[in-house]
Amino acid sequence: MIPTEAIMRKMGGAMDEHGDGQTRRGLLKAAGTIAAGYAAAIVVRPAQATPEQMRAAMRNVVGAAPVRKGRVEIELPALVENGNTVSLVVTVDSPMTAGDYVKTIHVFAEKNPQPNVIGVHLGPRAGRAKISTRIRLADTQTVIAIAEMSDGSFWSAAMDVIVTLPACVETE
Partner 1 sequence: MTQITQRWACGGALLAVFCLAATLAASAEIPLDQRRSSYDLMSRETRAMQDDDAANPGMLWVLDGEALWRAKTGTADKTCADCHGEAADSMKGVAARYPAFDTASGRAVDLEQRINICRRDKQNASPLAYESKDLLALTTYVARQSRGMPIESAADERLKPIVETGRVLFTRRQGQLNLSCAQCHDDNWRQKLAGSPLTQAQPTGYPLYRLEWQTVGSLQRRLRNCLIGMRAEPYAYGSPEYVALETYLMWRARGLKLETPAVRP
Partner 2 sequence: MARPLINVPARVKRGQTFEIKTLISHVMETGFRYTATGERIPRDIITSFVATYNKEEIFRAVLYPAIAANPFFSFYTVATESGTIAFEWTGDNGFSATESASIVVE
Point out which residues bind partner 2 (CB under 8 A).
9, 13, 16-17, 19-21, 43, 84-86, 109, 112-114, 116-123, 125-128, 130-137
| Contact assessment for residue 105 and residue 92, using Cβ atoms and an 8 Å cutoff | yes
CB of 71 to partner 2, least distance (A): 17
**H or E element that contains 51:** helix 51-62
Binding site for partner 1 (CB under 8 A): 3, 8, 11-12, 14-15, 17-18, 22-23, 26, 77, 79, 81-82, 84-87, 164-172
d(CA 83, CA 38): 31
CB of 64 to partner 1, least distance (A): 37
6 makes contact, choosing from partner 2, partner 1, none, with CB < 5 to 8 Å by partner type, with none
21 makes contact, choosing from partner 2, partner 1, none, with CB < 5 to 8 Å by partner type, with partner 2
Among residues 17 and 73, whose Cβ is nearest to partner 2? 17
**H or E element that contains 26:** helix 22-31
CB of 153 to partner 2, least distance (A): 21
Long-range contacts for 120-128 (Cβ within 8 Å, ≥24 apart)? Answer: 122/96, 124/96, 124/97, 124/98, 126/96, 126/101, 126/102, 127/96, 128/96
